[in-house]
Amino acid sequence: MLERRKSLACLSASVAVLGAASLGVSPAAAAGCQGPGAPTSGHTKCLTVIHIPGNPLQSFDISWVDSKTSRYYLSDRANAGIDVIDTSTLTFLRTLGGFVGIVLKNGAVDNSHSGPDGVTSHGRWLYAGDGNSTLKVFDLLAPTASALKQSVFTGGTTRVDEMALTADGKLLLAVNNAEDPPYGTLFKANGDAGTSTVTIITKVTIDPTILPPMFGLGFEQSVWDPQTQRFYASLPTIANNPNGCNYGQTSGPITCSGGMVVIDPTILSSPTAVIGAFDPAANVGVVPLNNCGPNGIALGTHGNLMEGCTPGNDPSNTGTVIINGVTKNYATVANITGSDEVWFNPGDNRYYLGASKAIKPAGSSLFSGAVLGIVNDASVLVKTIPQSSNSHSVAADEKRNLIFVPQVATGVVGGDTNTTAGTGSPTVGQLLCNSSAGCIAVYHHKVDDQDDDADDGK
């Protein structure tokens, strides 16, 4: 655990990944990584698993890596806190508590009111959303008992979820995606300050002609682009995309695609800001997407943004979209869909998709199609790796090319049902974790001077 006087520099590490031994991975931990989720060929392999003390991982949400400080953070609802992992030694450090934890409704996990949810960090400051509509601010240099420095109420009745920080850590956009209508909150964040003084700047809403209220339409993952000085966020479903589509106003399946909202924080100063249709001259507003109902979003190379399309939002989705933040030109990545969180790793120029709702391939012996999707910066799907049925969270350490994918526990409400060979067989998560309690599976992408996509077979 971090001690009271430990400096920020002591959070950093420079250990390079040379193999399991160099990371201090014990034989017992490495004894996991079995089954369909542990590929034996290609350059991306399961390196080890990390077990979290306390309750089994019944429910978790967003995860985040700060490569500069060698830390991985997981929103662990089962243990009502943010789990902290050292990415240089692959060891559990502590859980930062103070959250509502798992909330059940009609015998199922109520994602809208459980917490923690979204999480991000800058330097010594960690920000996380809770199920009671609060943003919690932690000082990572403080002892666990006194690390929580602020709890800021955002005015809703449901969770503060996905969030993004500007590069200097001074502005934070967080969304209440389960409100109806959903909204975002722009905060003045701490940057590199020594004390926490987070305050709300403005509430960000979407024009009701684009996100009509009373239909449960969402406002999802966001990202900051330092080149365009804009926040970008996913809107799973928007009205009139295309004209006459069903966003829920009539019976039958949803036929409307989603959008990408572009937000310029410098023009948001009034108590409430309403974002309307896209204005190309100002590069602000809602950009309609073609055949994509996105949840996740990640900024890649050349200003490109991956939108994690999913049939959970638009049943017709069979691919994923990459759109340029400046030109709005886009490409479609075929044969990967159903992602929630999306992450881009500059260490290997790859997108990683927590595709828990991916379509199951014909003839598969698995119960579901849940995978870790891997896409290169040429917009080509290079690999899919089966995961536990609710493994929707993913983050990567760019210094070490380590990819962290939490696995949900088996035999609990909302747990892993991705059986490997029919009823009663082990689940993908059980084999990966060597446990029914869930774990964090750690994958390593071995990068060399050759084009390794060819032998990273799907």
The residue assigned the tokens 């330092």 is 226
For the chain, residues with pLDDT lower than 70 are 1-30, 449-458
Judge residue 300's burial from the number of C-beta atoms within 10 Å of its C-beta, 0-12 exposed, 13-18 middle, 19 or more buried: buried
Give residue 343's pLDDT. Answer: 98
Give residue 24's pLDDT. Answer: 44
Give residue 9's pLDDT. Answer: 40
Give residue 284's pLDDT. Answer: 96
The residue assigned the tokens 């994602």 is 111
Q: Is residue 63 within 8 Å of residue 394, measured between CB atoms?
A: yes
Give residue 268's pLDDT. Answer: 84
Q: Is residue 174 within 8 Å of residue 156, measured between CB atoms?
A: no
Which residues are bridge partners to 374 per DSSP?
352, 383
The residue assigned the tokens 């009373």 is 214
Give residue 190's pLDDT. Answer: 98
- What percentage of the chain exceeds 90 in pLDDT? 89
